[in-house]
Chains A and B, each alone.
Chain A
Amino acid sequence: MALDLTLSRSAQGRAWSAAGWASALIRPPFLLYAPASLFLAVFFLAPLGLVIWMSVSEPTVGFDNYAEFFASKYDLNVLARTFQTALIVTITSLVFAYPVAYVAARKGGAVGSFLLGIVALSFWTSFLVRTYAWMVILGARGPVVGLLVALGVNPPPRLLFTTFAATFAMAHMLVPFMVLALYAVMKRIDEVYMRAAASLGARPLKAFLTVYLPQSLPGVLNGATLVFITCLGFYVTPTLIGSPQDKMIAGRIGQQIEQLLEFGAASATSMVLLAAAVALFVIYDRLFGIEKMWR
């Protein structure tokens, strides 16, 4: 943003020239973003370039790895399942997150801080730790099965290593993203609108549906995009607590490297995943503007 301002201001002042560029580049904003750019170039762009190179050069030069990916029914199925899982997880976490964000934003005060505190705690706990926690909770000796047995469900259902377990756990892990995205938007919705709706005779539900919900939609979109794209890359959770049939694309990449030593094919699969994520961002940007995501 800062860069844009500087550039446009200098553009107004004089025509573009090499000197203009140079002076724009060495102005203080450059110094501010240089460390980050350098860091990204070395630790993100360079390795990414290497992966792209591997995907078209191993074992032979050409696009064979991509051709094979799109010719393989199996790989396409894994890709489709990954999108399907991400969609289900996104909807599930929206269902859980919306009420939390709603109450936190509208009540505020102690209740709001308490709710956001819980969300933040969960947010700060690593995915791996939370996956293991779900292993304990859903395990054959865990509290959920214990409760079901106490209620007379015999034999109790097996919960671990099922699609349900993986989906539920992933939704749980991504709820904080959703809550924070929703909260940021909801906090800016003026209470006056709801009061106005009530004073005009709208019942609470009607007021919510026609006044509040539409205003909170940008938050829903932000949250859904974040959650969906994060979920596309999930590896540990479906591998550890999902059913063997739940393989997502990150797990497939892991297998290509760990067991098949197909570095080229794995790189191509990674690029497909990256392209899918970028495509989603581009669509989002076209429709809503990417800079809105972080507001």
Chain B
Amino acid sequence: MAKTVMALPRTTRRGLLSMLGGAMVAMPFIREARAAETLYINTWGGPWEEAARAILFNPFTAETGIEIRTIAPVSFAKLAAQTRTGIYEFDVTTLGVAELGRANHAKLIDTYDESKIPASSLWPGAVTLNGVNSHAFANIIAYRRDKIPNGGPRNWADFWDTTKFPGSRSLQNYPARVLAFALMADGVEPAKLFPYDLDRAFKSLDRIKKDVRVWWSQSPQSQQLLRDGEVELIGMWNTSAQAMVDQKQPIELVFDQAVIDVATWVVARGSPRTKNAWRFIEFAVGPERLAQFAQKNNYGPMNPASFKYLSPEIISHMPTSPQNLPKSVILDAEKLLPQLDVMAKRFEQWLST
């Protein structure tokens, strides 16, 4: 937020006034031009957006002439507000499994059919609940090697074990993922995770509550907490954790019992630019482009054809690699859907009492 404020161009008052005047005169024309030429995409900002711009957005503009503007960060509430107000700030966004379920249920997203993207451009199982599967990321354990030198936690039960591994912890403020950790920490087999046994999950969370100093909400925050030594152990995304390993930070990653979530591209329902929005999504999940985008962020591409374009070395870092996938669980959107609301409410109350 602070960044946006500072990035505002310096303007004189007169300059600002003439800009405003110009904008008012030009307003009707701008709207016309935008409808035809521009697509608005909701992004995570930062390195994510840089990668998306280089690999997805700019080539799309070059091919179609449709300009892409971005709005950060990803906001589920904005998606909901847009369909209510009819004022569209963005047309396309990415959603995780839990939000996808809720967004689809609340009719916030445009429905998919083959007229939007031909089946020949997709693969079997490409579309879940009107979202086009793009890339998988894993919620893994990361810890400071320098603070926990003699072998760190190997799974969520270890992460929960504060006597064996003393130190501050952080987890994401995101119940659909955190409850999976809690159940596995309590000994639930990954195969029997869904739907969640909520009572058991919250009882398990009670055991770790006082050691979780902070519940992060944005991925840069999770990196900062670990980098600055505010916490010793954290549950975070493999993507941002790998970025820290690449920066030679003393950090160890644990892929055992990773909770895999899938990012899907969705179109805001009722947006005046849905046609171009679907066109962009078709473009973005093309095998080679998706391979490059996934490689840049250590995502696992969901398009099976993408793996042809990736080296075994690169694939080994991905959450969906043959080495990592068997150790993980994938969030089950359909089984979680009926639980999402009650889960979110109960988690919020649990958190602040």
Complex contact B353–A139 (CB within 8 A): no
Q: How long is the Cα–Cα vector from A37 to B348 in the complex, in angstroms?
A: 40
Complex contact A129–B212 (CB within 8 A): no
Complex contact B230–A245 (CB within 8 A): no
Taking CB atoms, residues of chain A closer than 8 Å to B212 are 244
For A74, A160, A259, A260, the residue with the greatest tally of chain B CB atoms inside 10 Å of its CB is A259
Taking CB atoms, residues of chain B closer than 8 Å to A260 are 341, 344-345, 348
Of the listed stretches B18-26, B75-83, B187-195, B196-204, name the one at the interface; the rest are far from the partner chain.
B75-83
Contact of A74 (CB < 8 Å), options: B84, B229, B349: B349
Contact with A along B330-346 (1 / 0, CB 8 A): 00000000000100110
Taking CB atoms, residues of chain A closer than 8 Å to B214 are 160-161, 244
Complex contact B228–A141 (CB within 8 A): yes
Taking CB atoms, residues of chain A closer than 8 Å to B353 are 74, 77, 245
| A258 touches B (CB below 8 Å) | yes
Taking CB atoms, residues of chain A closer than 8 Å to B80 are 261, 263
Size bracket of the A interface: 20 to 34
Contact of A140 (CB < 8 Å), options: B1, B76, B230: B230
Measured CB to CB, the residues of B under 8 A from A are 1-2, 5, 75-77, 80, 84, 102, 106, 168, 212-215, 228-230, 341, 344-345, 348-349, 351-353
Interchain Cβ contacts under 8 Å between A and B, 21 examples: A126-B5, A128-B2, A132-B2, A140-B229, A140-B230, A160-B230, A161-B214, A244-B212, A244-B351, A244-B352, A245-B351, A245-B352, A257-B77, A258-B76, A258-B77, A259-B76, A259-B77, A260-B345, A261-B102, A263-B80, A263-B84
Q: How long is the Cα–Cα vector from A247 to B345 in the complex, in angstroms?
A: 14
| CB of B158, distance to nearest CB on chain A (Å) | 22
Of all chain A residues, the one with the shortest Cβ separation from B174 is: A259
Q: Is the interface of A mostly helix, strand, loop or mixed?
A: loop
Using a CB-CB cutoff of 8 Å, which residues 77-95 of chain A contact chain B? Answer: 77-78
Complex contact B228–A129 (CB within 8 A): no
| CB of B182, distance to nearest CB on chain A (Å) | 15
| CB of B65, distance to nearest CB on chain A (Å) | 35
Q: How long is the Cα–Cα vector from A150 to B302 in the complex, in angstroms?
A: 52
Contact of B228 (CB < 8 Å), options: A140, A244, A255, A261: A140
Complex contact B229–A141 (CB within 8 A): yes
Chain A to chain B: the 4 pairs with minimum beta-carbon distance, closest first: A247-B352, A161-B214, A140-B229, A258-B77
| CB of B261, distance to nearest CB on chain A (Å) | 16
| CB of A132, distance to nearest CB on chain B (Å) | 7
Taking CB atoms, residues of chain B closer than 8 Å to A261 are 76-77, 80, 102, 106
Taking CB atoms, residues of chain A closer than 8 Å to B351 are 244-245, 247
Contact with B along A134-145 (1 / 0, CB 8 A): 000001110000
Using a CB-CB cutoff of 8 Å, which residues 241-265 of chain A contact chain B? Answer: 243-247, 255, 257-261, 263
